[in-house]
Amino acid sequence: MPRDFLEVLQARKSIRSFSDAEVPDSLLEKLLAAATYAPTNCNQQLWNFVVVRDAATKERLITEAAGNTLFRRAPVVIAVTYDGWNYKEAIQGASLAVGHFLLAAEYYSVGALPMNSYGADSEIHKILGIPESETICCFIAVGFPDERAADAPPVPRKPVGDMLHRERWSGIAKPPFTYDPDDWTLSTLIYHQCHYSRKTSLGKEMDIMGQGERELIHRTLAPLHGPFLDLLSYDGAYVREFPPGKVTVVDLAPETSTYTRAAVALSLPPARQGDFVFQVYVPTGSLGEDSFRTATLLYKAERMSRTLRAELFAKTHAALQPHGTFVVIARKRNPFLSLFFLVVRILFGKDVRKTGIYNFFGPYAPVRVGKLRRELVAAGFANVTAHSFFAFPDFYEKLYEMFKQFIKSEGSSYLHREVKGDVVLSGITTLLRFQGFRRAGLFGSVAVITCTK
């Protein structure tokens, strides 16, 4: 039975993992034919579609053009181009065709993903022989969804009222576009997590951390005991670092909690998954009274306003058992981190949307340890101790890899990278190995703060 148009429209979702099944040429041509019924500028129909199945060509797109590594996992990738004599017309015409293609793919139960992280335009023109007169709009990854992708729910859509302006712009509230967490309210932070940073597959880690920063969590939590309370888990990036025992993970919104659930399912063996309980933060409610032996806030204090921290610390204090332990691990102010943020502001300006920081975190500011200690004492905690690690920030290794990807892809992406070593990366790795987990005092970039009820 033919599917209703609105059903197709509402069921469409981006597919990022594919089965091994090939997409027949006959089916692919149906999808491309549907794309050609899109409106075009003055009916010129100046699209072109370069279909790539060859594995060697996909590898060249990844290694030579710094294209998305998903290319090698998709049965088919398509470069969508348009005559580039007028850039605005090219992007408009090609984008309309892509929209038709994606809806047709959903109708025929084919998975598809539009991608702007396709790599360096100059190299792609060479690899695929695309004339310089053509503007590349995007790539589309095409294939049949695997079981994980097929079962993933569509991403919740924003209410129309959040985007509707009648007659003129009506000043609809948006999240602030600044780095400072104190500019953000709880509602704008939730709005950001639901609609801005939820753009990848379920279970994907949205945190950017070095291996040492992750290992520090593991070492800190290993001697502690549950039941555990993990605050603002966000993407479940650290759930596998918890020792055995019941863990209640708290997120700000149901949409965010969905990602944490997926992380538990993907990163933990079935025997451990049952240890995890999921909860959504309710500002007017409690986290439980005297319920937990250990509470954790892992690399999240950097994203919270002082008001939200005060509220959360007070509720955490109430939720801990007598003599229970609260562990806060956060990036702190450090000369190298300050240099990083200075460079970011010089390159991208004050608008945090222009950086990857916004997509992953929203607000972000390394903490002042002294201020955090005072906030914890004000919430009723005692025996507050702090130790710092990594004078040279551990995540700089990842940062350098992202920088290389950004340059090589001509600004197309900084993720989905093919890591290749060089002298600089080797030097960073050696430096990180040398500093290890020695305490770094005032010069550390990560603080481990522990306190008790």
CATH of the domain at 113: 3.40.109.10
In the prediction, which pLDDT does 284 show? 86
Domain for residue 175, yes or no? Answer: no
Domain for residue 386, yes or no? Answer: no
Helix (H, G, I), strand (E, B) or coil at 45: coil
| Eight-state DSSP code of residue 328 | E
In the prediction, which pLDDT does 132 show? 96
Same domain, 83 and 137: yes
Q: Evaluate if residue 199 carries a pLDDT over 80.
A: no
Beta carbons of 77 and 139 less than 8 angstroms apart: yes
Domain for residue 398, yes or no? Answer: no
- How many domains would you assign to the chain? 2
In the prediction, which pLDDT does 198 show? 66
End-to-end CA distance of the chain: 62
Print the domain residue range for 242: 181-380+447-452
Same domain, 226 and 294: yes
Same domain, 222 and 262: yes
Same domain, 216 and 106: no
Hey, what amino acid is at 190? Answer: I
Same domain, 129 and 218: no
| Eight-state DSSP code of residue 303 | G
In the prediction, which pLDDT does 64 show? 94
Same domain, 197 and 314: yes
Q: Which of 316-325, 359-368, 381-390 has the lowest mean pLDDT?
A: 359-368
Hey, what amino acid is at 11? Answer: A
Same domain, 132 and 199: no
| Eight-state DSSP code of residue 223 | T
Domain for residue 425, yes or no? Answer: no
Q: Evaluate if residue 142 carries a pLDDT over 80.
A: yes
Same domain, 376 and 245: yes
Same domain, 223 and 145: no
Per-residue pLDDT tens over the stretch 420-451: 778 888 888 888 888 999 998 889 999 999 99
pTM comes to: 0.87
Domain for residue 291, yes or no? Answer: yes
Q: Evaluate if residue 367 carries a pLDDT over 70.
A: yes
In the prediction, which pLDDT does 344 show? 79
Q: What is the DSSP string of 365-388?
A: -PBPHHHHHHHHHHTT-EEEEEEE
In the prediction, which pLDDT does 205 show? 75
Q: Residue 57: left if φ>0, alpha if ψ -120 to 50, beta else—which one?
A: alpha
Neighbour count for residue 13 (Cβ, 10 Å): 18
Same domain, 119 and 201: no
Domain for residue 203, yes or no? Answer: yes
Q: Evaluate if residue 15 carries a pLDDT over 80.
A: yes
CA proximity to 262, closest of 70, 17, 72, 69: 17
Most trustworthy range by pLDDT among 172-176, 193-197, 198-202, 446-450: 446-450
Domain for residue 399, yes or no? Answer: no
- Integer Cα distance of 85 and 82 in angstroms: 9
Q: Which of 35-49, 103-117, 186-200, 381-395 has the lowest mean pLDDT?
A: 186-200
Same domain, 134 and 209: no
Q: What is the CATH number of the domain that holds 374?
A: 3.40.50.150
Q: Evaluate if residue 358 carries a pLDDT over 80.
A: no
In the prediction, which pLDDT does 1 show? 62
Same domain, 131 and 233: no
**Mean pLDDT, all residues of the chain:** 90
In the prediction, which pLDDT does 151 show? 85
Domain for residue 388, yes or no? Answer: no
Last residue of a domain, one of 131, 151, 171: 151
Checking 113-116 for CB contacts under 8 A at 24+ apart, the result is 113/14, 113/15, 113/16, 113/70, 113/74, 113/140, 113/141, 114/14, 114/138, 114/139, 114/140, 115/68, 115/70, 115/139, 115/140, 115/141, 116/412, 116/413
